[in-house]
Amino acid sequence: MSFIDNLIANVIRDDVRANSAYVVPDSSGLIKLDAMENPYELPRALREELARRLADAVLNRYPMASYASLKEKVSATLGIPAGYDVLLGNGSDELIQIVATTVANQKRRATILAPVPAFVMYSRSAQFAGADFVGVKLKPDFSLDMDAMLAAIALHQPAVVFLAYPNNPTGNLFASEDIETIIRALGDKGIAVLDEAYQPFARHTFMDRLDEFENLVVMRTVSKLGLAGIRLGYMTAAPQLLAEFEKVRPPYNVNVLTQVAAEFVLDHVEVLDAQAASINAERERLTPELAALAGVEVFPSAANFISLRVPDAADVCAKLLAEKVLIKNLSKMHPSLANCIRVTVSTPEENSAFLNSLKAALAPA
Ligand SMILES: *Cc1c(COP(=O)(O)O)cnc(C)c1O
């Protein structure tokens, strides 16, 4: 073995060596419908004003570690209830990591539980934090299997249960009574993290239930709303609990450019809300059209994407790619997603391009 091979064998964790990096496919020149991005840019006048604000950003200093002004803006414009502080993250990906790291390490084994299929960062973050990950299979219609969830909670006593609301990659909202039952079953033995990444499209939330449940954390992001590039997530919970997570947060995790951009754009959040409304209208247009296609099963979605089952997902994805349409093949994520694909709801033009390419891909040769 070479020096570098030996070095890696000597110092890198086995489970890290066995893992592979998160793969993001190259999308240049493609209609990009694989990552739940908002397809709309900000209006030109706003972008020009943003450029002026960014020109004045203080780049030679560290960010103000309190992030007081950004937190105030987030709280005021994104619906944080009075009396609750927020913790900011470099995307909610980082918040998931912070939660996992706060509850577990190699010395204090902890279990992190989530229904599966779920957002992949839950299991990855659990693993890298040194926690055991338990995935509990959703029912075939992707609703929560409550008997299995409650049995797994009793058996594993998870420190954290992640619930994406709506769920990614399936798009559905879990029944709120089921979520309540899970939060109560955890009691003071476990934290329920409601990941509301798609809240701008779902308009359902547990944000107004924080007073009821002291073991509830509500996590959100501005990514799906239209600011995926700036990387900003936020979460809130009972102040004493949030203070513990705060100890694990790297002090300058949100950079100055993100801070300036977010404070500016959130002053115009109605622009993003209007974009979300047109994406929702397109979802309502697209869903029945997809459902009408022979051989296609569409899963109900409250998010800015639609998941569907087709006769041959690999074939459909390859044919769409040949038409320069990039979507996500979910087949390898979980056995229950065999021949499932996921498509971001985009502009009317891009959605029609997808629909037409899909029809062509499904047509008998
Ligand atoms: C996209 C997504 C996130 C990640 O959001 P970022 O803020 O961009 O890191 C978190 N949770 C779910 C369920 C998602 O689908």
pTM exceeding the 0.85 threshold for the entire prediction: yes
Cα(71)–Cα(88) distance, integer angstroms: 8
Query: What per-residue confidence (pLDDT) applies to 22?
Result: 81
Contact 123, 172 (CB under 8 A): no
pLDDT of residue 20: 85
* DSSP H or E segment with residue 124: helix 120-129
- The answer to whether 192 and 147 are in contact (CB under 8 A) is no
DSSP 225: I
Number of helices (H), then strands (E), belonging to the chain: the values are 14, 13
By three-state DSSP, how is residue 233 classified?
strand
Domains in the chain: ranges and CATH: 3-43+270-358 (3.90.1150.10), 61-267 (3.40.640.10)
Helices 256-266, 44-55: axis angle to 10 degrees equals 140
Q: Which atom from ligand 1 is nearest to the alpha carbon of 89? A: 7
**Distance between CA atoms of 46 and 309, rounded to whole angstroms?**
40
Neighbours of 302 (CB within 10 A): 18
Kindly give the number of the ligand 1 atom that is closest to the alpha carbon of 224. Answer: 1
Q: What is the pLDDT of residue 364?
A: 81
Residue 300 CB-density burial (10 A; 0-12 exposed, 13-18 middle, 19+ buried)? middle
Q: Is 193 helix (H, G, I), strand (E, B) or coil?
A: strand
- Render each residue's pLDDT in the chain as its tens digit; 365 residues: 899 999 999 999 999 999 888 888 889 999 999 999 999 999 999 999 999 999 999 999 999 889 999 999 999 999 999 999 999 999 999 999 999 999 997 777 899 999 999 999 999 999 999 999 999 999 999 999 999 999 999 999 999 999 999 999 999 999 999 999 999 999 999 999 999 999 999 989 999 999 999 999 999 999 999 999 999 999 999 999 999 999 999 999 999 999 999 999 999 999 999 999 999 999 999 999 999 999 999 999 999 999 999 999 999 999 999 999 999 999 999 999 999 999 999 999 999 999 999 999 999 87
pLDDT of 168 reads: 97
Atom of ligand 1 nearest to the CA of 93: 9
pLDDT of residue 91: 98
Nearest CA to ligand 1 atom 1: 197
CA separation for the pair 319, 91 (Å, rounded): 33
C-alpha span between 204 and 196 (Å, rounded): 9
Cα distances (angstroms) measured from residue 18 to each of 5, 12, 13, 109: 14, 10, 9, 21
Atom number in ligand 1 closest to CA 119: 13
Whether the bond between 117 and the residue before it is cis, its omega within 30 degrees of 0, is yes
Ligand 1 geometric centre to CA of 224 (Å): 8
- The CA distance from 249 to 221, in Å, is 16
Residue 248 burial (CB < 10 Å; 0-12/13-18/19+)? middle
Do residues 139 and 168 make contact, with C-beta atoms less than 8 angstroms apart? no
Give the binding-site residues of ligand 1, using a 6 Å CB cut-off: 36, 91-93, 119, 164, 168, 195, 197, 221, 223, 228, 233
What is the Å distance from ligand 1's center to 23 Cα? 15
Q: What is the CA radius of gyration of the chain?
A: 21
